[in-house]
Amino acid sequence: MSQAPIQSVPTNIITGFLGSGKTTAINQLLKHKPDSERWAVLVNEFGQVGIDGSLIEQQDGIEVKELAGGCLCCTLGPSLPITLATLLRRFRPDRLLIEPTGLGHPARIIDTLQNDQFRQVLELRSIICLLDPMVLHQPEVLRQPGFLDQLNLADLVVLNRIDLAGEAEIAEAKSLSANLFPPKLAIHATTQGQLEPGWLDLEHLSQRQASYPQAHASNPVRQTTLAPVDRPKLAEPGKPVLQTGSQDGYYSYGWIFAAEDRFDWQAVQEYLDGLNEIVRLKAVLRIGHAWVGYNRNNGQPADISESAWRRDSRLEILSRQPLEQAVIEGELLGCLAG
């Protein structure tokens, strides 16, 4: 018997600049998934090796698909319709959540979701943008065209990580959000990505416009390593695979270690905590018989959690300047347990 056509799958984009807490927010939303429903999560990462998919908590009724190595708004744009069609056909979800890279521009994703191919299949509902109030004091972030357009195109703005911001920063973030036009459906404040499930079903307002719709069209990711990101078998014990890329003044360095490699937790945590010239550092590492997720923005304590990931150990560093990749790799190898 042929299956009924897929129609009007509720779809949400969870956007926000680097380090705003998107993956944490999605994990919180997944905890509220009705047992009878199947949810799909499409994760896009600027980095080459793909970490966020391993940081999303795996559970029954949830399918996670990861696109790494560039932004869906430019480099990976042609891959989006193919990936969406395959995901929908194979998994037939009751809801789709899309997490673009923090450097991404949502306009192209929105256009794809509403084109002739997907207009009847997907129902775009609220676009939620997470905003860390502390980034308003980072000029390099404010200069990024995608930062403002993530806010412009969102239906809801959620000030996240407010426990790490002062009253002045929170007031400034609220003022910025309240003065965007058209007005937002709501502006909320929270910690640890605690989004209300009901926010997902608010209506998307199609009149919202980007200020810089072509900002990323001519900025392809420049990769120095082109090995597929989903082939961990290329990594041999003690011989990690390195993949790098750059875009818009950001540099990514990603390592995949063989599943047999085990890290000394005290040594690797001390090393990772001490890396200063970074914007973002994410990892999932095998520690003895356990696996640990590590997630840190520069200048802030790391978020450390158990991970259900078992494929391999992988680490991604994002920086504003080139790094000595051979030195970092040597230090990481030195943190392997004997």
- Tens of pLDDT, residues 132-166: 999 998 888 888 878 888 999 999 999 999 999 99
- Give the three-class secondary structure for 314: strand
**More confident site: 39 or 298:** 39
- pLDDT, position 52: 66
- Please, are residues 195 and 29 in contact by the beta-carbon 8 Å criterion? yes
Strand arrangement of the beta sheet that strand 250-257 belongs to: 222-223, 241-247, 250-257, 313-319, 280-287, 290-297, 303-306
Four-residue CA torsion sign, 148, 149, 155, 158: negative
Give the containing element (helix H, strand E) for 318. Answer: strand 313-319
Q: How far is CA 150 from the centre of its chain?
A: 13
Residue 250: pLDDT band with limits 50, 70, 90: confident
E strands, the chain, in order:
9-16, 39-45, 62-68, 95-99, 122-131, 156-159, 186-189, 222-223, 241-247, 250-257, 280-287, 290-297, 303-306, 313-319
Q: What is the mean pLDDT of the chain?
A: 86
Region at 204 (left for phi over 0; alpha for psi -120 to 50; beta for the rest): beta
Structure tokens at 237: 């014990």
Tell me the CATH number for domain 9-201.
Answer: 3.40.50.300
Domain residue extents for the chain: 9-201, 222-334
* pLDDT given for residue 222 in this prediction: 38
| Whether the predicted pLDDT of 234 surpasses 80 | no
Of 117-131, 197-211, 228-242, 280-294, the range with the highest mean pLDDT is 117-131
Between CA 16 and CA 280 the distance in angstroms is: 14
Confidence of residue 168 (pLDDT cuts 50, 70, 90): very high
Return d(Cα 23, Cα 212) in angstroms, integer.
25
Closest C-alpha among 66, 78, 85 to residue 23: 66
- For residue 126, is pLDDT > 50? yes
User: Which residues are paired to 131 by β-bridges?
Assistant: 159
What is the rounded distance in angstroms from the CA atom of residue 59 to the CA atom of residue 106? 28
- Local confidence band at 102 (pLDDT 50, 70, 90 cut-offs): confident
The gap from C-alpha 148 to its chain's centroid, in whole angstroms, comes to 17
Which residue, 98, 110, 113, is CA-closest to 41? 98
Amino acid at 215: A
The pLDDT of residue 231 is: 43
Cβ-proximal residues to 183 (8 Å cutoff; 6+ apart), any chain: none
- Which whole number is the average pLDDT over 26-42? 95
Taken as a whole, the chain contains a residue count of 338
- The answer on pLDDT for 323 being more than 90 is yes
Mean pLDDT of 318-333: 94
The pLDDT of residue 306? 85
240 neighbors 257 (Cβ within 8 angstroms)? yes
pTM of the model: 0.79
Strands 9-16 and 156-159: unpaired
Neighbours of 277 (CB within 10 A): 12
CA proximity to 20, closest of 218, 227, 280, 268: 280
